[in-house]
Amino acid sequence: MKTDALFYKLFRLSPKSLFRLVRLKIDGTYAFESITVKTTEKRFDGFMKRTDGEGPNIFVEIQGYEDNMIYWRSFREVCIWHEENESEKPFILIILFIDEKYDPDNCKLSCRPPCRLIRKNLTDSLKKLGKKAGVLTVLKPLILSDSKKDREKLPELVPQWEEDIRSLELSERETMELTELLLYAVVQRFRKLSLEEVEKMIQLTPLDQTVAVQELMQIAEKKTRQETARNLLSMGKLTVKEISRVTGLSVKEVQALRKTEH
């Protein structure tokens, strides 16, 4: 699961949280899903279709990297989707930037009401919600930086975020899902955290069954295999293919490690 999957799981669990985050006032009930534009094989991060009546289709892009063509590309995919589906329904295109630095601010396209383009950055959107972020609390780790200063804040912040989620009085299943998403957001933002550090911060049990911790364990296991490969390379007695078989790393991974040793 990557960062865009975090948003997918959150908005699928609570579609209204997306509207709250981007301050969109809209009637009706919507369902959040992912769709693929067949012609280009481009998958939208999210697509919302009203389930209790007529209303605009909502296309969602979560942007977490630099792309100067993001606006052109997003409008193109919306147009192609309408063409493929022979649809004349109005649309709302939401582009949510994880960080404002990813917004190229070069949009030369516009649309006429009732169609709309909504562009927001996550940090500003969450700050406007203040302490009452509700289920959007799970996204708060993403607006911190992976710096020593922010890592030192986590032992205080994570239990506080977890308590905010538990105070929502949701079902046990929903609370568990949101807490897992919070944990995953922490792991995604703070790549240098160890499993021991995560265990000290969060009360979720059983911790080892969550996607986030399984990913941490895989990272730790891979680091161990990489260290073994480095030791074998330094001995100079085994070929790259032999080291690959011993460690379970791919030949390309072992070759990359050999290059860093020189």
Q: Give CA–CA dist 152/122, Å, rounded.
A: 22
pLDDT of residue 209 exceeding 70? no
Q: Tell me the CB-side half-sphere exposure of residue 214, using CA atoms within 13 A.
A: 6
pTM for this entry: 0.74
Q: Give CA–CA dist 138/140, Å, rounded.
A: 6
Paired strand residues for 58: 48, 92
pLDDT at 199: 67
Cα 179 to its chain centre, rounded Å, is 15
Confidence category of residue 254, pLDDT binned at 50, 70, 90:
confident
Confidence category of residue 1, pLDDT binned at 50, 70, 90:
very low
Q: How many domains does the chain contain in total?
A: 3
Same domain flag for 104 and 15: yes
Confidence category of residue 125, pLDDT binned at 50, 70, 90:
very high
pLDDT of residue 95 exceeding 60? yes
End-of-domain residue from the set 67, 100, 129: 129
Contact status, residue 97 vs residue 121, Cβ threshold 8 Å: yes
Q: Give CA–CA dist 45/95, Å, rounded.
A: 10
End-of-domain residue from the set 129, 144, 161: 129
Per-residue model confidence as pLDDT tens digits over 158-206: 889 989 998 998 998 898 888 888 888 887 788 777 767 776 776 654 5
Same domain flag for 180 and 115: no
End-of-domain residue from the set 82, 99, 129: 129
In a domain, residue 215? The reply is no
Mean pLDDT value across residues 66-91: 94
Q: 231 versus 33: which is more confidently predicted?
A: 33
pLDDT at 218: 58
Same domain flag for 72 and 193: no
Per-residue model confidence as pLDDT tens digits over 8-29: 889 999 999 999 999 999 999 9
